[in-house]
Structure 1
């Protein structure tokens, strides 16, 4: 191990993190575009409650397939080729979906778009975690969430501006997704391969060159030594290695956090903003304006989370978020049930968004990107993020059905209970990870 001091090329590290995080923009785009398009799609395709839920959730089914594809590509060919394919799939599907002539074709194309989003959702945080020094890893992985919320905000603004352009406005809403996808694809061409994947595939010299661009020779020497040590002490990776006793606890925590991030219910607010505010008497223009307010608040509190995740830590933010959401949801459910004015409902919707944005939104992705050992990171991340997208599908598919049966307010009591259970889980099962290298986290995992 070198005795030279460790120094970092922070500009280069930020550039790598930001370019790879542009995949998060695609994620944010598809989350937001459906909210603005739904009022038009309901009329275009004469959607039932179940049809609306399946149309919205079809993205998640594609994301599940995308995660599985990404895991295999990331393991065999590297992180970079997977990011390139994700951008290409999304760009093509965005163009074609704008010309959908019937519901079946639309759902198939939204499923294909989901493949690209699913690949990006898995590979972007993983890549950022693998190229970032420990002291800024949380902030850098949170850049991915920042691009998600920027994608949501810009898409909501675009939807609002397009809303008065006629019944075909939804086609422009979806078609414009091609622009960020092409920008992302061009950016990925500049990225180097992950040094941890290069070492794992026996390309140590290439890994050293990447690490020496990221930091000093001392940093490169120490990191290479730690990666090699972790790979040599790990068991041979197999399809079932993610369930090996030594790592099973981390995998279960990763899956639980991923599912909790969705079942906490906040994506109902993102995807069904129009439905929620329609229930308290808002017109279409007001409904779409609320999506802009949500996007702005989401952005501001994500920036706050990036500032705090490496200072306050992952665990405290997760606990604050889960307990806070539980309380806010109960109040919001009562307000919706009693038909409070839309302006008052808006305050508590925005409070829920801010609570989520500073906690569960970025921190879940940070933890999934960092808690798994080098040897099984792509496989374990696949399992966790497939679980996340499966939970997202269940959430968005069931909301219109539950809202029709119980009233729009009803599901929020359920989400409040889930958030309380999530608080207990984080408090009892999740360890703090800030300030530790990926290899140190792996050693602590195996030791426990």
Structure 2
């Protein structure tokens, strides 16, 4: 939004209007990227803290606290008068994001019926996409308000913060979290409320209690145990997926899509409209993924989506190499700019069908209960830390590598598709307490599950507390 740039980043606005500026380098400003990426470094720190707090107070309380911080950050951003206030508000949003990202997917995974767990957990991503679409549409209209339209845009982040706070007050904590804290009667009541008044919950509650009892035998040192041989399979997949997710290139395309559209020649209003179209595409593919995930399985969606994104990013790179910045021009011909928009939407569709929702589903269901909070926290913190680094350097990377940045991401997409095909077991339809059997049947990871059992007593005896 030009009103936002003119107030806080006037040098970027001057660079945009300069005919001498490299088409790829018009937005290369570290203060601007610091504003965007500060949210993620704050989220990294808070997600690590949230895993320990969740064991003491439960997942419901973590979501409540996260929503309150998100609400506060949005108010500070809307009232900002300098860059320092912007970054402080953005970091508070990040703290709230870290708390909710650590707790909400696990909450859904622990409360959803096994046969619908994929749909329930991926619904989290669907609502994230709805939020992104709502924000983009808001930007489209507030961009027309001179001077203060950006305050409305940033201030409306208070709406999801308020919804999180209010919603957290009306839901029970998860049965697993309640049993883990010794509240068996409340756990039964919560499970009955979730499954319905007439449902028989005895068998499911016994499974939860048994899983928690096994977890208590190894209660100390959860983070340290994650790096032992017994949990190596969980750690490899639980960290591999968020790391590869960041290198799809889609997070920077999503956040910086207006920048990309301005780079290839759209004006401010059309660039935001392009982002609206892209967000709508993301929502459509996310809803499709939610409806088919528990029928097709996780692996086929990962593979199809990865191949689709790879082909689109190679095509984007080819068009930008041939038609952007040629003959001293700072934009590309309109027909090719429209082609880039179409390819970005196709890439987003492949992403929304696969990595976007599955990035939340798989890590939330693969960890045993004794390390689930620690594993989820580690997955989230690694992802947010990489997001911070990636957003901090993307504009400089675009300026330095030009069209080659998309070939860089395409190479990663090939690598991660091979990883999924070889090392990710299929988890659809399996009760979360019985996930061990999935690993035992995998051609590679079964050796770690069985060897871990043989050495389990020694590992527990040798390890101290975190």
Report the Cα distance in structure 2 between the residues aligned to 1:262 and 1:42, rounded to whole angstroms. Answer: 31
Instruction: List aligned pairs for 1:158-169, cutoff 5 A.
Output: 158-169=138-149
Tell me the equivalent position of 1:44.
Answer: 8
Aligned to 2:288: 304
**Partner residue, 2:17:** none
Q: Output the TM-score relative to the length of structure 2.
A: 0.85
> Which residue of structure 1 lines up, in the alignment, with residue 456 of structure 2?
none
1:429 pairs with one of 423, 426, 439: 423
Match of 2:230 among 216, 223, 246: 246
For residue 302 of structure 2, the aligned residue among 318, 330, 339 is 318
8 Å CA contact 1:70, 1:82 repeated in 2:
yes
2:211 is aligned to: 230
Q: What is residue 406 of structure 2 aligned with on the other side?
A: 412
- What is the distance in 2 between the residues matched to 1:94 and 1:231? 38
In the alignment, is the contact (CA less than 8 A) between 2:72 and 2:92 conserved in 1?
Answer: no
Cα distance in 2 for residues equivalent to 1:362 and 1:251 = 19
Match of 1:143 among 116, 119, 123: 123
User: Following superposition of structure 1 onto structure 2, how do residues 82-101 of structure 1 map, counting pairs within 5 Å?
Assistant: 82-101=62-81
Aligned residue for 2:107?
127
Q: CA–CA distance in 1 between the matches of 2:232 and 2:2? A: 40
Task: Name the structure 1 match of 2:276.
Answer: 292
Q: Relative to structure 1, is the Cα distance of residues 421 and 263 closer, same or farther in structure 2, using a 3 angstrom cutoff?
A: same
Aligned partners of 2:436 and 2:73: how far apart in 1?
38
CA–CA distance in structure 1, aligned partners of residues 284 and 106 of structure 2: 24
Distance 1:393 1:219, change over 3 A: farther
For the pair 1:273 / 2:260, whether they are aligned, the reply is no
Describe how 1:148-159 pairs up with structure 2 within 5 A: 148-159=128-139
Q: 1:66-77 to 2 correspondence within 5 Å? A: 66-77=46-57
Instruction: Give the CA deviation at 1:40.
Output: 2.7
Provide the C-alpha distance between the structure 1 equivalents of 2:2 and 2:203, rounded to a whole number of angstroms: 52
Superposed counterparts of 1:161-180, under 5 Å: 161-180=141-160
How many residue pairs get matched?
411
CA distance in 2, matches of 1:338, 1:272: 22
2:228 is equivalent to residue 263 of structure 1: no
Distance 1:278 1:76 in 2: 48
What's the Cα RMSD here? 1.7
Please say if residues 42 and 52 of structure 1, whose CA atoms lie closer than 8 Å, have aligned partners that are also in contact. no
Q: 1:141 to 1:219 in 2, by over 3 A?
A: farther
CA distance in 2, matches of 1:384, 1:260: 11
Instruction: Flag the structure with larger Rg.
Output: 2
Match of 1:221 in 2: 202
Q: 1:167: Cα distance to partner?
A: 3.3
Contact kept, 8 Å, 1:211 with 1:219, in 2: the verdict is: no
Give the distance between the partners of 2:337 and 2:200, measured in 1 at CA: 54
Change (3 A) 1:83 1:230: same
Structure 2: distance between partners of 1:296 and 1:43: 30
Contact 2:76 2:86 in 1 (8 A): no
Q: Check whether the contact 1:63–1:117 (CA below 8 A) recurs between aligned residues.
A: yes
342-351 vs 40-49, greater mean Cα deviation: 40-49
1:372/1:442 contact within 8 Å kept? no
- Mapped to 1, the partners of 2:427 and 2:281 lie a distance apart of 27
Q: 1:287 & 1:259 partners in 2: Cα distance? A: 29
1:246 deviates by 1.5
Q: Is contact 2:60-2:171 (8 Å) kept?
A: yes
8 Å CA contact 2:425, 2:439 repeated in 1: no
- Contact 1:149 1:295 (8 Å CA) reproduced: yes
Contact 2:67 / 2:164 at 8 angstroms: preserved in 1? yes
Change in Cα spacing, 1:326 to 1:222, as seen in structure 2 (3 Å) is same
Q: Does structure 2 conserve the Cα–Cα contact (< 8 Å) formed by 1:246 and 1:445?
A: no
CA contact (8 A) 1:73 1:81 kept: no
Q: Deviations over 1:274-313 (max 9, x none)?
A: 2211222111111010011011111111110001110001
How far apart in 2 are the matches of 1:176 and 1:218?
Answer: 40
The answer on whether the counterparts of 1:402 and 1:410 sit within 8 Å (CA) in structure 2 is no
Match among 78, 83, 96 for residue 103 of structure 1: 83
Task: Give secondary structure in 1 for the equivalent of 2:392.
Answer: helix
Classify the secondary structure of the residue corresponding to 2:295.
coil
Residues 39 and 424 from structure 1, CA distance in 2 versus in 1: closer, same or farther, beyond 3 angstroms? farther
TM-score by length of 1: 0.88
The whole-number CA distance in structure 2 between the counterparts of 1:110 and 1:84 is: 18
Secondary structure, in 3 states, of the residue corresponding to 2:294? coil
Could you list the per-position Cα deviations for residues 127-155 of structure 1 after superposition, in whole angstroms to 9, with x for gaps in the alignment?
00011110111000011011011001111
Whole-Å Cα distance in 2 between the matches of residues 304 and 156 of structure 1? 21
